[in-house]
Chains A and B, each alone.
Chain A
Amino acid sequence: MAFGPYLFLATLEGLVMAAVLALTALGLSLVFGVMRVVNVAHGEFFMLGAVLAWAVATTVSGHPALGFLAALVVSPLIVGAVALVSERLVLRRVNYNPEATIVATIGILYILQQLALTFYGPEARPVVAPFDYRIRFPWFGYSAYKLSIVAASALVLAATWFLLARTRIGLVMRATQFDAETATAFGIPVDRVYAGVFAFGAMLAAVAAVLIVPIQQAHYLMGHDPLLLSFIVVIIGGLGSLRGTIVAALLIGLSDGIISVFFSPTLAKIIATMAVALVLVFRPQGLFGVAAR
């Protein structure tokens, strides 16, 4: 294969990765932005979404698309419920203290991994894609399902944007993000906003995971990379910024896809992680954020 088509393939792969990453990172970014806490268990909500997708898809008989669609609805709902319970039982009780929350969500991370290991097992299992069609390019065939992931992700992102920018719920969230105390004074139930945002953030990760399981198997330790990459995206994109998150996800997704073609994946990860750490040290507002002053 010539260089051009090779690069085209890498771009397509990068685009799929960026689509999934944007959803996952947006969930983390919303929680970070509105509640000012870091959810270290975010990757495990992703993992839980994938594992539950497998469970739902194997329960539903008939055409694979039925199982997949059921998973796309049921899995995020269950993950949202799990997140809601952990928020009520743990995060609220530590008063969203930033450091205590991190320690607590590390605990939740391990508990979720343990539950997945106990009830799902150590195997990696795939979910059958809802449809199996290959688009014929002149140089290679490419899975239409992968491209549909990009479309689905764009759809969810657009819906989230609408929710944030055009609805009362979004207004309430932004008010809480801006100043929780004043929001309370104006009768906004900050407490319930936090619970909702936490659950919603987890659900975004779960949706991303359901979309990815047909091409990447579900495994109880699969949450680690999405967490780290989401961190990277959120840091580069600037906190709580929808546009920044999407741009950064595209940047990371595409560059990861392309760098991996030319370098070893480990070296690519080293370079990316180091670069992000240095961004955080020298430009904490993110590459696209604006300095406070």
Chain B
Amino acid sequence: MNAFAAIDRRALALHLAVIAVLFVLQFVLPAYHHGIMARILVLAVFAMGYNLLFGYTGLLSLGHAMFFSAGLYGAGLSVYHLDWSVPAAFGAGLAGGLVLSAAVGFLALRTTGVAFLIVTMMFGQVAYLFTLYFTDWTRGEEGLTLPQAARVLGPLDLTDPTTRYFAALVLFTIALFVTLALVRAPFGRVLVAIRENEERTRMLGYDTFRNKLGATIASGVICAASGAAYVLLFGYFGSSFAAVQYSILPLLWVLVGGAATTLGPLLGTILMFYLVDLSNDLLNSRFPDWDVSYLGIVGVALVLLILFFPKGLLGSVRDRWVRWLP
């Protein structure tokens, strides 16, 4: 039973099964949920990127909206202003995430604990303010919509719901297996070691700064991939995606699903999306004159989770029943 062996068969089978279910869902779901699921798959990638840093490496960032936005704006602006093709724009988004996460990581990782959290929040705030400041190009809060004609990938029309769902699923699948491979590789093991005991890890000969920087960059690029895909598939980008809420949402999704589990981010994103959706409908029909937004639900969920369920759903499942869950 070697923990470092190649990806465990059971884990591989489980992940393939999840992909298969998501594939089949496409033919079963009614149109409304079909659209929501496509969005969830893209945002789950954002949560997975966040999980790599928060769950596995133990670094709590409150500025990940900037990496999502780097992909969102990198891809969005290059399509809107430069007429780039979809693959080139996606590449621009990834490059944006790479450069930004390397720079932010290099600076922010000099701090630890609470200071790290505040520094990432401030860098995130700066990124948000930049989207407002360059309003001539970004249209600030109002945002921009990509023309339908620009959102084609060869013969594929990304505005078509079916194509969009498959594109989202392909991105999700790649991100899921990249994450699985990363956390099973020595690199991922070292990240967990850093989370558990950084000084001991250093005294085993690991350059912890470089490993943490690697984790930040990997996390930033995955989040940027999610942002780039989001704008290319759904066609809209604006400053609200760079605001602090979008740094807190992936934290929430990961906490719900289970930090440091590969499938937790997906589960958490699905649950929170539907929880907000359903409870909005319910409360609006029961109390029509209340102004209910996502705020209260997100707030209550965060407090309850941290009090009673700090390991999230899959984290608890792993602790109690399924030890091999990656």
Q: Which residues of A contact B187 (CB under 8 A)?
A: none
Q: What A residues does B296 contact at CB under 8 A?
A: 110-111, 113-115, 118
Partner of A90, one of B130, B291, B295, B307: B307
B295 touches A117 (CB 8 A): yes
Within 8 A of A (CB), among B105-121: 107-108, 110-111, 113-115, 117-119
Closest to B245 in A: A110
In angstroms, Cα B122 to Cα A23, docked, is 22
- Provide the bound-state CA to CA distance between A94 and B123, in Å: 28
| B201, CB-defined interface residue at 8 Å | no
A174 interface contact, C-beta 8 A: no
Given A107-B302, A117-B295, A274-B126, A280 and B133 contact (CB-CB distance below 8 Å): no
Partner of A270, one of B117, B133, B299: B133
The count of residues in chain A whose C-beta lies closer than 8 Å to any C-beta of chain B is 42
- Say yes or no: B133 contacts A111, CB within 8 Å: no
Q: How far is the CB of A237 from chain B (nearest CB, A)?
A: 14
Q: In this assembly, does A277 line the interface, its C-beta being within 8 Å of a C-beta of chain B?
A: yes
- A111 and B300 within 8 A (CB): yes
Chain B residues with Cβ below 8 Å from A103 are: 251, 255, 302, 305-306
> Which residues of the partner chain B approach A93 to less than 8 Å between Cβ atoms?
307
- B125 part of interface (Cβ distance < 8 Å): yes
How many chain B residues touch the partner (CB < 8 A)?
40
Most chain B CB within a 10 A radius of its CB, from A103, A122, A231: A103
* A residues less than 8 Å from B133 (CB atoms): 264, 266-267, 270
Say yes or no: B306 contacts A280, CB within 8 Å. Answer: no
B267 interface residue (CB < 8 Å to A): no
Q: Does A108 contact B (CB under 8 A)?
A: yes
**A284–B111 Cα gap in the complex (Å)?**
8
Known: A98-B114, A118-B290, A122-B291. A270 touches B126 (CB 8 A): yes
Q: Are A106 and B248 in contact (CB under 8 A)?
A: yes
CB of A291 within 8 A of chain B?
no
Closest to B132 in A: A266
User: Is the C-beta of B282 less than 8 angstroms from some C-beta in chain A?
Assistant: no
Which of B115, B129, B303 interacts with A280 by CB under 8 Å? Answer: B115
CB distance from A196 to the nearest CB of B (A): 22
Q: Which residues of A from 219 to 252 have beta carbons under 8 Å from B?
A: 224, 228, 231, 235
A121 and B291 in contact, given A98-B113, A270-B130 (Cβ under 8 angstroms) = yes
Residues from chain B with a CB closer than 8 A to the CB of A125 are none
Q: Which residues of B contact A274 (CB under 8 A)?
A: 122, 126
> B85-111 CB contact bits vs A (8 Å, 1 = yes)?
000000000000000000000011011
B25 within 8 A of A: no
Does A9 have its Cβ within 8 Å of any Cβ on chain B?
A: no
Q: How far is the CA of A281 from the CA of B133 in the complex (A)?
A: 24
Which A positions have Cβ atoms within 8 angstroms of B? Answer: 38, 90, 93-94, 98-100, 102-104, 106-115, 117-118, 121-122, 224, 228, 231, 235, 264, 266-267, 269-270, 273-274, 276-278, 280-282, 284
Q: List 24 A-B contacts (CB under 8 A).
A: A38-B114, A38-B118, A93-B307, A98-B113, A99-B60, A100-B306, A102-B114, A103-B305, A104-B307, A109-B299, A110-B298, A113-B299, A115-B296, A121-B291, A122-B291, A274-B122, A280-B111, A280-B115, A280-B122, A281-B107, A281-B108, A281-B119, A284-B111, A284-B115
Q: Which 7 A-B pairs have the closest CB atoms?
A: A110-B299, A114-B296, A107-B302, A111-B299, A107-B303, A277-B122, A114-B295
